[in-house]
Amino acid sequence: MLAPFKVLILDDHPLCCEHARSLLMEAGLTDTHMACNAREALEKLGDGGFHLVITDLKMPDMDGLQFIDELSRRDLHPMLVISTSCSRRLMNSVSLMAKESGFSVIGMFQKPFGTDHVQALVSQLRSVHANEGKTAAGIRERPIFAKAHLVQALQEKTIQAWFQPKKSLLTGHIVGVEALARWNDPQFGFMMPGSFMSAIRFHGLDHALLVRMMEDAMSAHLAWRSAGHVVPVSVNLPIPLLDDIGLPDELHGMAARCGIAAENITFELLEDQAVGIPASYYMSASRLRLKGFGLAQDDYGRGYSSMYSLISTPFTELKIDRAFVAGAAGDEVRTAALTSSVQLGRQLGLTVTAEGVETTRDLELLRSIGCDCVQGYLLSAAVPAVEFALMLASEPRHQGNPT
C-alpha cells in the first residue's frame, strides 16, 4: 500500500537525511529520496511525481518557509511534513502558512526523527490512501466543474451523503452521526469535498447541496430507525444561507413530511464565510432552535468563529476544529487551547465534540479534560449509509425520540 508513495526528505544535515530515509524505507516507503538543500530539492521536485516532502525549517541559503513559499509559487503542492528542532508554536505557525497556501500538512515532528514519527506518518498516509479517494500512484488534480455538471450530479444523486459516527467518551457508544458530501463522478471518479466544494459555492449551489444532504440524511435516519436505532444526524449548513429567513420553515417542512422529529437533526453552521445580514442570521438561527433543531458551532477556533458568536447564537453543541485536536497530546500549546475550549463549552451548557481524533493519545487527552464526544479516523472515516447500519448493528439500540 505504501510503496508507491514517492517521498523527498529535505534536511541540510546528511546524516539526518540518511537516518530518516532508513526508517521510512523499513516502514515500507521504499521510494524515498534525499536533498541536502532547498535548491536541490526544488530541482528534484520539478521532475514531478513526488507525493510527500519532509522538510526542516532551519537551513542556510533558503530556509523552510522560503522553500514552502517557492513550492507554492511554482504550483507544486505535495503533502508536507515539518520535521525540525524549532518550537511547537513556530511549527504551528508555519503549518498555518502552508495550509493557507494550499498545502496539506500531515505531520509536525520535533527532531530527532524517530520510529514514533514514522508510525504516525504511515497512519496518515494510509488514511490518505483509504479515505480521501487519492491513489498511491498520484494525487488527482482538482478538476474545474461547470455549473451544469454539478447540477446534474445533484439531480442524479452521484453527490451523496456518507456518514461519520460521533461517539460518547463516557460510554463509547455511537450517539450521533454527521452527513458528509462525497461525489462518485463517472468521469473523475470518487472525490472528497475539497475537490468540488469551491465550485459548489462559486456556482451558488450551496442550497441545492443542503437539500441533497438533507434528503440522504433523513432517508438514512428512517432506515436506521426501522432497525431500532434512533440516531441523531448532523448536516452542514453554510452561514450565508441563513440570510433567507424562510429557510427554517423549509427545513422543518422537509423533516415533518418524513415524520422525523426536529430534535433528531442538528445543523452545523459552517463559519468559513462571514455573516452576511446579521439580523437575518440571528432570526434564522433562533427560529431553527424554536422549531426544535439542534445548532452546532462547527470548526470552533478557525475561520470566522468567535467567542462572541458562541455566546450570541443559540447553539446546543460546540465542535472543536481538528487543527486544535490532531497532535494535541504532544503539544502543550494545543493542549492548553483545547482544554480552555472544552471548559468554555461545558460552562455554557453545550455538548462538546472534538473532530479529527486520529491517535489514542489524543483520545485519552480529550477524555481527561472532560470532552463529551469525539469524531475522527481513529474511530471511523465517513462510510455509506448501508455500511453505517452494520456498525449500528453491533451497538445497543438507541432510545432517542422515535418520531
Overall average pLDDT of the 263-289 stretch: 88
Q: Are 385 and 216 in contact (CB under 8 A)?
A: yes
pTM of the model: 0.73
pLDDT tens, residue by residue, 28-74: 888 899 999 999 999 999 877 799 999 999 999 899 999 999 999 99
pLDDT at 25 over 80: yes
Q: Are 189 and 133 in contact (CB under 8 A)?
A: yes
Between the alpha carbon of residue 51 and those of residues 46, 281, 376, the distances in Å are 12, 42, 23
User: What's the number of CA atoms in the CB half-sphere (13 Å) around residue 103?
Assistant: 31
Q: 364 or 127: whose pLDDT is higher?
A: 364
Domain ranges of the chain: 6-131, 147-393
Q: Are 131 and 377 in contact (CB under 8 A)?
A: yes
- Give the C-alpha separation, 126 to 103, whole Å: 18
SS3 78: coil
- Give the C-alpha separation, 107 to 32, whole Å: 17
User: DSSP class of residue 49?
Assistant: -
Sequence-distant (6+) residues with CB within 8 A of 127 are 358, 377, 381
pLDDT score of 12: 93
Give the torsion sign (CA, 283, 284, 285, 291).
Answer: positive
Identify residue 306 by its one-letter amino acid code: S
The CATH superfamily holding the domain 6-131 is: Response regulator (3.40.50.2300)
pLDDT tens, residue by residue, 54-66: 999 999 989 999 9
Sequence-distant (6+) residues with CB within 8 A of 246 are none
Looking at domain 147-393, its CATH class is: alpha beta
pLDDT at 302 over 80: no
User: DSSP class of residue 113?
Assistant: P
- Give the C-alpha separation, 275 to 241, whole Å: 10
Provide the pLDDT confidence category of residue 278 given band limits of 50, 70 and 90.
confident
- Give the C-alpha separation, 367 to 285, whole Å: 30
pLDDT score of 116: 87
pLDDT tens, residue by residue, 176-234: 999 999 999 998 899 999 889 989 998 999 999 999 999 999 999 999 999 999 999 99
Between the alpha carbon of residue 183 and those of residues 145, 149, 186, 191, 294, the distances in Å are 12, 12, 10, 5, 26
Proportion of the chain above pLDDT 70, given as a percent: 91
